[in-house]
Amino acid sequence: MRLVSPLLFLLLIGCQSTEEGATEEDHAFTTWSHYGGDPGFRHYTSLTEIDTSNVALLEPVWVYHTGDADTANHSQIQCNPIVVGDLLIGVSPQMNLFAVNAVTGAEAWVFNPQDGSLDANGSVYKHIMINSRGVASWTDSLGHTRIFFTAGSRTYAVDASTGRKIEAFGSDGFIDLHHGLGRNVDDHFVVSTSPGIVFEDLLVMGTRVDESLPSAPGHLRAYDVRSGEQRWIFRTIPGPMDEGYNTWGNKAAWQYTGGANVWSGFSMDQERGIIFCGTGSAAYDFYGANRPGNNLFANCVLALDARTGERKWHFQTIHHDLWDKDHPTPPVLVTLNREGKSVDAVVQATKNGQLFVFERETGEPVFPIEEVPVPQEGALPGEIPSPTQPIPTLPKPFARQSISKEDINPYLSEEDRAKVLADMERARMGSPYLPPNEQPMVLLPGFDGGAEWGGPAYDPATGMLYVNANNMAWYIEMRKNEWSVPDEENWAQAGERLYGKYCQSCHGTDRAGTGNNPTLVNIGERYDRESFGTLLQSGRRMMPAFGHLKEEETSAIAAFVLNLEEEGKKEFSIRPLSPEEDPYYVSYKLRGYTKFLAPDGKPAISPPWGTLTAIDLNSGEHRWQVPLGEYPDYKARGIPATGTENYGGPVVSAGGLVFIAATSDAKFRAFHKRTGELLWETDLPAAGFATPSIYEYRGKQYIVIACGGGKLNTLAGDAYVAFGLPEPPEKEDNPSR
């Protein structure tokens, strides 16, 4: 299928915004050519065909089924699709890249990265099954567009008109993100879940890496869009010659420590040539005795020269992270009115429910940020928490920061309330900065935010920012990583030890699963030893790869997890390294990713558990906040909307609307952007844990949402659904008939 025309013409026919205060810049926001809508990640459209007066008339105009949902493994779609010419381009649950006609939903092509090519060992390559939140594109001077799409560790260049990989890019059409990091990490987990961003002829990429040890470093890299050649690197874990090296007390950490990665994507000021991003925590992310100090450039907002990768400025929003508080979303480019002056700024939303606002060129805070003393009591042996943490004075947090014994879910039975109260009395709580230890601690905001990966929406016509948030509490409980030299072990015994080292924090001591991590009970019904070993080596979705494990270690874990009695009796021959010999050894590890839930499975704390908040960035003041999502059984009991956990993000329109799906109740909603009033909602075929895309084609406005489900125990799906207004009735040729 041929592209009908370059996307540029869509930018030139943007409809006139009816909003007071709209600018010429707004007229460019009539399509969705980038992840997040535009290079500034604003999630904004200047289209006004759909507005507050007619949004209730929205109806599906096409549905595209990818045909590859995997309900057994809770496959998901988190993709925010882009529009190129007359094609909408997205990613399926099984990580196939596809293009459909943006008007009809008819399939144009599908690119399957499982193409039979060989890996470095000569085996048929199988990409890691992770989530893809989107793609990037680049168009040359002749109007030819290539799509940059990452499956596992491979970033492909694909011809947008044919769906075929461009073999001249990299090696056989792809680059391997394991390479070019400055040390050998071929057997480490290195993938990308969010797309890179293109500036001129450069593709800038981040990665997702293991948050435990061993882990690859999260260095940022830029590649030539034509050849795939690496052009620059920014080391987020600095070496001896790099700025920031003195913030690491362990001077050898750069040689083995990982993390400090950008897994959530980028935004860009094209005029200034500045790329912005937020980095994650350093590994290991819950115990930092092996990485004393503030650990630059982990947990930083970074501004880099897009052409060279040189740092222009940074700001660290959490020092020496002990709570897995990665930056979950790219910074958003905004323009504020401060004391009568226009200020180009950038806004970083955090998992702690804060907004950090900086001048775009200098990194100077727009609103004061104070270094506030935080609790030090209870730190584990060897741990040195930061005595202070930076707290913005404005805007105020958009997510709850603490709970007390009075904040118990009021809709629980008396028996369940008593159980929750007893759990609270045993736990530590009161500050999101309590140092983790072996006593359970209730963390709020939890591991999934505050802000999530979908990120906020910003309205350049009004200066309002809209951000969804989780208010779900989680436990942090550490366990001592005991070590002793076994006299002799069989595979089952070694497998149990290795399971405790590598798997227990996610899947629990009883293998029943914790948080969003699935149960391994009865996993033998789906995997044999060979396929389970492949799973361990390659990883899948949230599960990292354990490629560094030796074959016998993989077999031993399989014997333990799959309850293989005969194989479990085999003698284990590998002597484990002592803590002194093992650079990846940590003395304490997280016991498990566990939500703070009541016995009935509902949140233990009082609602709202999910919110949508409107914040005036000119003043820093909140304008409104509403619950986002509801539990059907609570609704049936007449309980007002409580909000639920939510992922994905909102989009805001010049038509006066904020659209968002994001929750487990499989609803798609539109709110009045000035008041927060719910104006429209509809049922989706599966929960839409993704950010919508809005575009115009030939005078008609479309809104597309990926409905993949799979998270929060929802049914997996495979649909992209496009909504629009009904077509007006055709006029009769002779009205007198």
Alpha-carbon span 662 to 248, nearest angstrom: 38
Q: For residue 107, what pLDDT is reported? A: 98
Alpha-carbon span 155 to 149, nearest angstrom: 5
Burial-class residue 305 by CB neighbours within 10 Å (0-12, 13-18, 19+).
middle
Helix (H) or strand (E) holding 657: strand 657-660
Residue 498's SS3 state is helix
Alpha-carbon span 63 to 709, nearest angstrom: 16
The one-letter amino acid code at 19 reads E
Alpha-carbon span 233 to 205, nearest angstrom: 10
Alpha-carbon span 327 to 281, nearest angstrom: 8
Alpha-carbon span 336 to 79, nearest angstrom: 30
pLDDT digits (tens, 9 = 90+) for 253-303: 999 999 999 999 999 999 999 999 999 999 999 999 999 999 999 999 999
Structure tokens belonging to residue 578: 């002592």
**β-bridge pairing 190-191 and 197-199:** unpaired
Measured between alpha carbons, how far is residue 260 from residues 295, 463, 622 in Å? 9, 31, 31
Domains of the chain are: 484-577 (1.10.760.10)
Residue 217's SS3 state is strand
* Contact status, residue 97 vs residue 113, Cβ threshold 8 Å: yes
Alpha-carbon span 220 to 150, nearest angstrom: 15
Measured between alpha carbons, how far is residue 603 from residues 3, 237, 268, 644, 649 in Å? 49, 37, 38, 9, 22
Alpha-carbon span 259 to 237, nearest angstrom: 8
- Please list the ranges in the chain whose pLDDT falls under 70: 1-28, 72-73, 115-125, 129, 485, 514-516, 537-542, 544-545, 730-737
Task: Find residue 668's DSSP bridge partners.
Answer: 682
Alpha-carbon span 135 to 128, nearest angstrom: 17
* Contact status, residue 195 vs residue 133, Cβ threshold 8 Å: yes
Q: For residue 697, what pLDDT is reported? A: 95
Determine the Cα angle at 280 with ends 201 and 309, to 5°.
Answer: 30
Hey, what's the torsion of the CAs at 236, 542, 468, 43, to 10 degrees? 70
Structure tokens belonging to residue 648: 């994905």
Alpha-helical runs (H) found in 367-475: 414-426
Q: Count the Cβ atoms, other than its own, within 10 Å of residue 633.
A: 11
Q: For residue 5, what pLDDT is reported? A: 37
What is the end-to-end Cα distance of the chain in Å, rounded?
43
Structure tokens belonging to residue 137: 């594109």
466 secondary structure, DSSP code: E
Alpha-carbon span 424 to 436, nearest angstrom: 16
- Residues in the chain, total: 737
Burial-class residue 57 by CB neighbours within 10 Å (0-12, 13-18, 19+).
exposed
pLDDT digits (tens, 9 = 90+) for 424-439: 999 999 999 999 999 9
Any residues with CB less than 8 A from the CB of 432 and at least 6 apart, and which? 323, 352, 401, 402, 443, 444, 445
* Contact status, residue 82 vs residue 34, Cβ threshold 8 Å: yes
Structure tokens belonging to residue 42: 């604003």
Alpha-carbon span 511 to 525, nearest angstrom: 15
Q: Count the Cβ atoms, other than its own, within 10 Å of residue 15.
A: 15
Tokens 């947008």 sit at which residue?
160
Q: For residue 580, what pLDDT is reported? A: 87
Q: For residue 23, what pLDDT is reported? A: 39
Task: Find residue 98's DSSP bridge partners.
Answer: 90, 110
Q: For residue 27, what pLDDT is reported? A: 45
